[in-house]
A and B are shown apart, each in its own frame.
Chain A
Amino acid sequence: MKYEPVIGLEIHIELNTKSKMFCSCSAEYFGADPNTHTCPVCLGLPGALPVANKVAIASAQKLGIALHCENLLSSKFDRKNYFYPDLAKGYQISQYQEPFSLKGYIEFDVNGETVKIDVTRAHMEEDTGKLAHAEVENKKVSLIDFNRSGVPLVEIVSEPQIHSSDVAKGYAQKLQQIARYLGISDCDMEKGSMRIEPNVSLRPAGSNDLPQYKVELKNINSFRFVQKAIEYEITRQTEILEKGETPALETRGWDEIKNKTFSQRAKEMAHDYRYFPEPDLPPYLFTKEYVAELKANMPELPDEKRARFIRDYQLSTYDCALLTTDIDLAAFFEDTVKAYPKGEPKRIANWIIGELLRRLNESQTPLSSLNLVPASLAELLLLTDEGKITTASAKEIFEKMITSGKNAQELIKEFGVEAITTDKLEEVVEMVIKQNDKVVAEYKAGKEQVFGYLIGQIQRQTQGKADPKTAADLLVKKIKK
């Protein structure tokens, strides 16, 4: 039988506020000593009262707006009750009935096609502590660090409308891009500030029913592994179904060494959360004006920016999609166009996509971590225009700019790649003609393919510093004489 995967994604995004969601402990816990960012509120001590973080609420609402959600004007927090060692209070403050945002969608391109996936809800909740598993005195134990406890999260839940790992990846990447544009989270999967939990099950192809079971995949720390884990599950579940059995309803992790998912059978936990309104947090009422103002103050989002780039710079959709991948890269492009007197967006786009973006992707570093300014690229292009360096050398210099952060003039001097002057080049051309009189004679006799050899000789004499076009022009002129 043919099966169709039914996939829904639950994605947690950790907001980059300075303080936690319901207390004033620092939310910047990454790399800190365990249990040094805690207080009675986030340790769940009796009598401690939570007070919500203004910025975190606004961030969650902005994300809702960006996902085309209906932003609820009346919202409240609820308690989700369950016992787990990383949850000190025995309940998590979350949102059940009235989250900040409901019913939106994410639109993105997958293999050249536009896909639209509905978002069920985007609600706010607090993060839990972090568990580590260790052996202490020959006994297996779990160790808890509550630094992360109470850090603000937004959970974005999709409808189970995804039917391939490519679409799942596209959806998650678009969400990451939007959250980064909004500046509300760094969405770093490796650091855990973006966590993707796919729910995967299979149904007979052609059926519209939701399968009777689902497998939740957890603890996956890259887009690539999300894709691989989903692929693995599709194969695993197909095998089980083909035997006439039903896959178990369970949570599975991803083993990146063995390239397979594995059952994470946590100690039995009842999924009966008994949500009820959080009595310690009064409800929220927002006006339409407030929501409109939030929206008005949001930065231009990826789709809008891409549309504007296509319109304003007359570039292809493909180029514009690449240039707007990252908000910093898009700004770099626009600033370079401004800084370069001739403008020429297409030429600058080629440099940024072909040279800069390629290197950023290769080294997996964000543009913001480089010491590169748009004026440096503009200057480099100008020097090329003026014939001070060849295009080939300019590319080398640009690469060095990216790694060193030095400016064009400095690097040209340091590496001695100034293009040689036309006078000097004339001398070299004459010398090459003299030394290769036989070849020149062949050329004159009509054997045009030797021209390349002569140009090669010129480049050898000048260590590649001759502008290829000028050299060719001079060579033709001198041979004709």
Chain B
Amino acid sequence: MKIDIAHVAKLANLKLTPKEEKDFEKQLSAILDYFKDLQKLNTEKVEPISNITGLQNVSREDEPKPSLSQEDALKNAPKIHNGFFEVDAIFQENE
């Protein structure tokens, strides 16, 4: 099965080298082909399932509990500024 590897890489927010693109394209195609094999199975009598835990209606009471300190929350951030996480500007320059 043919895969648009550039599109998949973009959705996954990954930058791939031309060599990686070639390699992954081959690997991902092989995986999809394998799923084709699975599709041959007769699943007519099998209910679709979206969760395999067997649990349902798991919820908690609406009670606030203490949060992390600001210091701990920001601890692993590559860049911080005045208590905020800092990243490159998200809006482009206005036209």
Interface residues of A (CB under 8 A from B): 17-19, 24-28, 33-40, 43, 51-57, 76, 81, 83-85, 90, 131-134, 136, 139-146, 262-267, 270, 272, 274, 277, 279, 281-285
Q: Nearest chain-B residue to A57 (Cβ)?
A: B59
Please tell me which stretch of B19-27, B28-36, B37-45, B76-84 contacts chain A, meaning at least 4 of its Cβ atoms lie within 8 angstroms of it: B76-84
* Docked-complex contact B67 and A37, CB < 8 angstroms: yes
Tell me which of B61, B65, B91, B95 has the highest count of chain A C-beta atoms within 10 A of its own C-beta: B91
Interface residues of B in 54-95 (CB under 8 A from A): 54-65, 67-70, 73-74, 81-92, 94-95
With A19-B62, A26-B67, A266-B90: A143-B84 Cβ-Cβ less than 8 Å? yes
Q: Report the interface size class on chain B.
A: 35 or more
* Docked-complex contact B86 and A143, CB < 8 angstroms: yes
Q: Which 9 A-B pairs have the closest CB atoms?
A: A277-B50, A143-B84, A140-B89, A282-B55, A24-B65, A55-B62, A144-B85, A26-B64, A54-B59
Q: Cβ of A144: which chain B residues have Cβ within 8 Å of it?
A: 84-87
* Docked-complex contact A146 and B73, CB < 8 angstroms: yes
Shortest Cβ distance from residue A265 to the other chain B in the assembled complex, whole angstroms:
5
Q: Nearest chain-B residue to A285 (Cβ)?
A: B56
Interface residues of B (CB under 8 A from A): 7, 10-11, 13, 50-65, 67-70, 73-74, 81-92, 94-95
Q: Cβ of B89: which chain A residues have Cβ within 8 Å of it?
A: 133, 139-142
Q: Cβ of B92: which chain A residues have Cβ within 8 Å of it?
A: 265-267
* Docked-complex contact A38 and B63, CB < 8 angstroms: no
Q: Could you write out 29 A-B pairs with CB less than 8 Å apart?
A: A19-B63, A19-B64, A25-B64, A27-B64, A34-B70, A35-B70, A36-B83, A38-B68, A43-B68, A43-B73, A52-B59, A54-B62, A55-B61, A76-B50, A84-B90, A85-B85, A90-B13, A131-B90, A136-B86, A139-B89, A142-B86, A142-B91, A143-B87, A144-B87, A145-B83, A265-B91, A266-B91, A277-B50, A285-B57
Give A8 to B65 CA distance when docked, in angstroms.
39
Q: Cβ of A270: which chain B residues have Cβ within 8 Å of it?
A: 7, 10-11
Choice from B58, B69, B88 contacting A51 with Cβ under 8 Å: B58
Tell me which of B11, B55, B64 has the highest count of chain A C-beta atoms within 10 A of its own C-beta: B64
With A25-B64, A37-B67, A38-B67: A141-B95 Cβ-Cβ less than 8 Å? no
Shortest Cβ distance from residue A53 to the other chain B in the assembled complex, whole angstroms:
5
Q: Cβ of B13: which chain A residues have Cβ within 8 Å of it?
A: 83, 90
With A34-B83, A83-B13: A262-B63 Cβ-Cβ less than 8 Å? no
* Docked-complex contact A272 and B56, CB < 8 angstroms: no
Shortest Cβ distance from residue A281 to the other chain B in the assembled complex, whole angstroms:
7
Q: Cβ of B84: which chain A residues have Cβ within 8 Å of it?
A: 34-35, 132, 143-145
Q: Nearest chain-B residue to A20 (Cβ)?
A: B64
Q: Nearest chain-A residue to B90 (Cβ)?
A: A142
Known interface pairs A35-B74, A141-B81; 13 further A-B residue pairs with C-beta atoms within 8 A, sorted by A's residue number: A18-B62, A19-B65, A25-B65, A33-B83, A34-B84, A35-B70, A53-B60, A55-B61, A131-B90, A142-B90, A145-B83, A146-B85, A283-B50
Give A125 to B89 CA distance when docked, in angstroms.
26
Give A55 to B13 CA distance when docked, in angstroms.
35
Give A57 to B13 CA distance when docked, in angstroms.
32
Q: Cβ of A56: which chain B residues have Cβ within 8 Å of it?
A: 62
Shortest Cβ distance from residue A331 to the other chain B in the assembled complex, whole angstroms:
25
Q: Cβ of A53: which chain B residues have Cβ within 8 Å of it?
A: 59-60, 62
Shortest Cβ distance from residue A149 to the other chain B in the assembled complex, whole angstroms:
11
Shortest Cβ distance from residue A75 to the other chain B in the assembled complex, whole angstroms:
10
* Docked-complex contact A51 and B90, CB < 8 angstroms: no
Give A285 to B65 CA distance when docked, in angstroms.
27
* Docked-complex contact A284 and B67, CB < 8 angstroms: no
Q: Cβ of B11: which chain A residues have Cβ within 8 Å of it?
A: 81, 270, 272, 274
Give A178 to B61 CA distance when docked, in angstroms.
25
Give A85 to B13 CA distance when docked, in angstroms.
12
Q: Nearest chain-B residue to A268 (Cβ)?
A: B10
* Docked-complex contact A51 and B59, CB < 8 angstroms: yes
Tell me which of B54, B62, B83, B94 has the highest count of chain A C-beta atoms within 10 A of its own C-beta: B62
Q: Nearest chain-A residue to B51 (Cβ)?
A: A282
Q: Cβ of A57: which chain B residues have Cβ within 8 Å of it?
A: 59
Shortest Cβ distance from residue A213 to the other chain B in the assembled complex, whole angstroms:
18
* Docked-complex contact B57 and A282, CB < 8 angstroms: yes
Shortest Cβ distance from residue B63 to the other chain A in the assembled complex, whole angstroms:
6
With A33-B70, A85-B87, A282-B58: A143-B82 Cβ-Cβ less than 8 Å? yes
Q: Cβ of A141: which chain B residues have Cβ within 8 Å of it?
A: 81, 86-89
Shortest Cβ distance from residue B15 to the other chain A in the assembled complex, whole angstroms:
13
Q: Cβ of B50: which chain A residues have Cβ within 8 Å of it?
A: 76, 277, 283
Give A437 to B56 CA distance when docked, in angstroms.
93
Give A437 to B50 CA distance when docked, in angstroms.
97
Give A76 to B70 CA distance when docked, in angstroms.
33
Q: Cβ of B10: which chain A residues have Cβ within 8 Å of it?
A: 270
Give A182 to B54 CA distance when docked, in angstroms.
33
Q: Cβ of A26: which chain B residues have Cβ within 8 Å of it?
A: 64, 67
Q: Cβ of B74: which chain A residues have Cβ within 8 Å of it?
A: 35
Shortest Cβ distance from residue A362 to the other chain B in the assembled complex, whole angstroms:
37
Give A270 to B11 CA distance when docked, in angstroms.
7
Tell me which of A34, A90, A131, A146 has the highest count of chain B C-beta atoms within 10 A of its own C-beta: A34
Q: Nearest chain-A residue to B48 (Cβ)?
A: A277
